[in-house]
Amino acid sequence: GAVVSQHPSWVICKSGTSVKIECRSLDFQATTMFWYRQFPKQSLMLMATSNEGSKATYEQGVEKDKFLINHASLTLSTLTVTSAHPEDSSFYICSANLPDTQYFGPGTRLTVL
């Protein structure tokens, strides 16, 4: 199956700092990647759709200036949480799009102190 990696797998940061999360498709190219957020015991919540070479499409209620997405190549998308606050603490998961369905990364656990 298709392999998607995320880095880092977990990160702890101080309030007010910015954190960058990388999502890579390892054995295929993905023109579209998705970023999700997941709270404990809840399903995935789509944050944005990342398209290679163009601006990301954000879901309603997601602040584009706070969650910066860059999809600079066919194998890499990044999510930067700017000026992070404790309420941004969550599990962030990316997925890469193939013709049949989405393949997910292992997730990044962000804790903001």
Partner 1 sequence: QKEVEQDPGPLSVPEGAIVSLNCTYSNSAFQYFMWYRQYSRKGPELLMYTYSSGNKEDGRFTAQVDKSSKYISLFIRDSQPSDSATYLCAMRESNAGNMLTFGGGTRLMVKP
Q: Does 66 bind partner 1 (CB under 8 A)?
A: no
Scored b (16 or more CB within 10 A) or e, 49-74 reads bbbbeeebebeeebeeeebbbebeee
Instruction: Say if CB 52 and CB 73 are below 8 A apart.
Output: yes
CA dist list (Å): 30 to 71, 74, 97:
10, 5, 6
Of 16 and 106, nearer to partner 1 (C-beta) is 106
Q: Does 102 bind partner 1 (CB under 8 A)?
A: yes
Binding segment toward partner 1, per CB under 8 A, in 14-22, 60-68, 71-79, 98-106: 98-106
Binding segment toward partner 1, per CB under 8 A, in 12-20, 67-75, 81-89, 94-102: 94-102
Of 53 and 65, nearer to partner 1 (C-beta) is 53
CA distance 82 to 87: 13
Of 54 and 101, nearer to partner 1 (C-beta) is 101
- The strand pairing partners of 5, in sequence order, are 24
Applying CB under 8 A, the residues found at the interface with partner 1 are 1, 4, 6, 32, 41-44, 46, 49, 91, 93, 95, 97-98, 100-107, 109
